[in-house]
């Protein structure tokens, strides 16, 4: 299964590196339009996706119902971020405002906390797995970026923000995990070499507000950053030097926090354009098209959720579906998890999960979509199991 999933990712990235976003969208449409109605695009990624997801409807495939496990080691302190390890069905990590991170294992049963990462002197705001899952980087209000060994929980390196400002978000450069991008409360982005702990020359820029969210496209050539003033900036990333060049700015809603950005090269046969999923504290989940090589965004759809002030996050479902429809999942301030079909014009809600005691701040799928994890403002992490038909 892991090999199939790696094949999906490899083809996905290869598609994106062949040419511009506009050309990619045209190629996808051309291939699809030549096929008889209802048939699959005849690629290895199509077959892999269908094999992993099964020949079920979208609603059936996202019929998550039962609770697989509940983690409460961070109870009474919000868990702002959680994420399954790359290409892994059973390894999950989360960070907490109590100043720690947890790495949890779901198999073999019973599910348990594998290791706790301790060392930050303040609330942990964000983290990211390296591609090989051997390292986690984390940011904190204590003004430090920390690099952790995921096997024993040892802190390998501490990098202090040169401005002594709160660090709010981080992400690995997808093609070069030696580089991490960090956003701080003084409006700055910075590329950091985690091997040396030093800033990359030319790898910094300033936004209009506190940097709350980051996302690369699959090849790592475009970086989007969102701030608490309602703007999304796109940057061109020089793969050789780590230099950032500011390209475009979109004001989503003046004064609103852009607290989640998630990029996807394409979602399904219906949603073939490169896309960006955005939570922006406007009581809607926003889906944008990426229309050019500079990361210019065009609003495609919006979906109603309760989201006005909390740092709520959303995700694309990891499998590329070649059935009708394509699915995204988001947290919400009404303590629910929502699944939306982005191509359904009416009644787009595919599923709604209830069980949290506070606003749901983040959601994460494992690699084969058999489990979904969600975290809330009370510190509870729920693992949901897909209903077996």
H-helix or E-strand containing 171?
strand 167-173
* 3-state secondary structure (DSSP) of residue 42: coil
Given a cut of 50, the residues of the chain with pLDDT beneath it are 1-46
The distance of Cα 87 from the centroid of its chain, to the nearest Å, equals 14
Q: End-to-end alpha-carbon separation of the chain, Å?
A: 20
User: What is the distance, to the nearest Å, from the Cα of residue 140 to the centroid of all Cα atoms in its chain?
Assistant: 18
Peptide bond between residue 57 and the one before it cis (omega within 30 degrees of 0): no
Degrees to nearest 5, angle at CA 264 with 235 and 300? 90
Cα separation of 276 and 45, whole Å? 21
Tell me: the pLDDT tens digits for 267-298? 666 557 899 999 999 999 999 999 999 999 99
Q: How far apart are CA 152 and CA 92, in angstroms?
A: 15
Please give the Cα distance from 138 to 128 (Å, whole number): 7
User: What's the chain's average pLDDT?
Assistant: 86
Q: Minimal CA–CA distance to 277: which of 319, 224, 324?
A: 224
Query: From start to end of 106-143, where are the E strands?
Result: 112-118, 124-129, 135-140
CA 151 remoteness from chain centre:
23
Neighbours of 1 (CB within 10 A): 12
23-to-157, 219, 274, 293 alpha-carbon distances in Å: 42, 16, 11, 10
pLDDT digit string (tens) for 162-211?
889 999 999 999 999 999 999 999 999 999 999 999 999 999 999 999 99
| Cα–Cα nearest to 373, from 80, 82, 59 | 82
Q: Over the stretch 64-79, which tens digit does the pLDDT of each residue have? A: 777 889 999 999 999 9
Number of H helices, E strands in the chain: 4, 28
Query: Would you state the pLDDT for residue 109?
Result: 86
CB 375 within 8 A of CB 381: yes
* The token pair that represents 68 in the structure block: 């697989």
Q: Is the peptide bond before 105 cis (omega within 30 degrees of 0)?
A: no
User: How far apart are the C-alpha atoms of 324 and 269, rounded to whole Å?
Assistant: 8
In sequence order, which residues have a C-beta less than 8 Å from that of residue 70 and are 6 or more positions away?
A: 380, 381, 382, 383
């Amino acid at each position: 299964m892991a090999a199939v999933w790696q094949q999906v990712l490899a083809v996905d990235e290869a598609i994106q590196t062949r040419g511009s976003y506009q050309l990619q969208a045209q190629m996808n449409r051309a291939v699809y339009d030549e096929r008889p109605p209802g048939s699959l695009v005849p690629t290895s990624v199509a077959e892999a996706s269908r094999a992993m997801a099964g020949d079920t409807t979208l609603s059936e495939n996202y019929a998550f119902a039962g609770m697989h496990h509940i983690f409460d080691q961070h109870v009474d302190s919000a868990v702002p971020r959680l994420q399954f390890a790359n290409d892994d069905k059973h390894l999950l990590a989360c960070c907490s405002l109590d100043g720690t991170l947890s790495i949890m294992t779901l198999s073999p049963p019973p599910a348990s906390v594998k290791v706790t990462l301790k060392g930050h002197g303040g609330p942990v705001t964000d983290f990211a797995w390296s591609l090989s899952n051997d390292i986690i980087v984390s940011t904190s209000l204590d003004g430090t970026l920390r690099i952790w060994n995921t096997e024993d929980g040892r802190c390998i390196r501490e990098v202090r923000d040169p401005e002594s400002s709160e660090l709010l978000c981080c992400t690995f450069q997808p093609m070069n995990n030696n580089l991490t991008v960090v956003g701080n409360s003084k409006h700055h982005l910075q590329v950091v070499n985690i091997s040396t702990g030093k800033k990359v020359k030319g790898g910094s820029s300033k936004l209009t507000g506190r940097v709350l969210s980051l996302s690369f496209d699959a090849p790592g050539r475009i970086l989007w950053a969102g701030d608490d003033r309602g703007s999304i900036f796109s940057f061109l990333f020089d793969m050789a030097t780590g230099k950032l060049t500011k390209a475009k700015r979109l004001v989503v809603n003046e004064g609103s926090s852009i607290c989640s950005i998630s990029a996807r090269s394409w979602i399904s046969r219906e949603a073939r354009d490169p896309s960006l999923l955005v939570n922006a504290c406007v009581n809607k989940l926003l889906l944008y098209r990426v229309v050019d090589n500079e990361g210019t965004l065009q609003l495609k759809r919006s979906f109603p959720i309760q989201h006005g002030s909390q740092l709520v996050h959303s995700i694309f479902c990891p499998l590329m579906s070649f059935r009708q429809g394509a699915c995204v999942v988001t947290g919400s301030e009404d303590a629910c998890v929502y699944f939306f079909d982005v191509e359904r014009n009416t009644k787009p809600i595919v599923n709604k999960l209830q069980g949290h005691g506070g606003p749901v701040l983040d959601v994460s799928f494992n690699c084969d979509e058999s489990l979904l994890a969600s975290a809330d403002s009370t510190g509870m992490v729920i693992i949901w199991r897909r209903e077996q038909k």
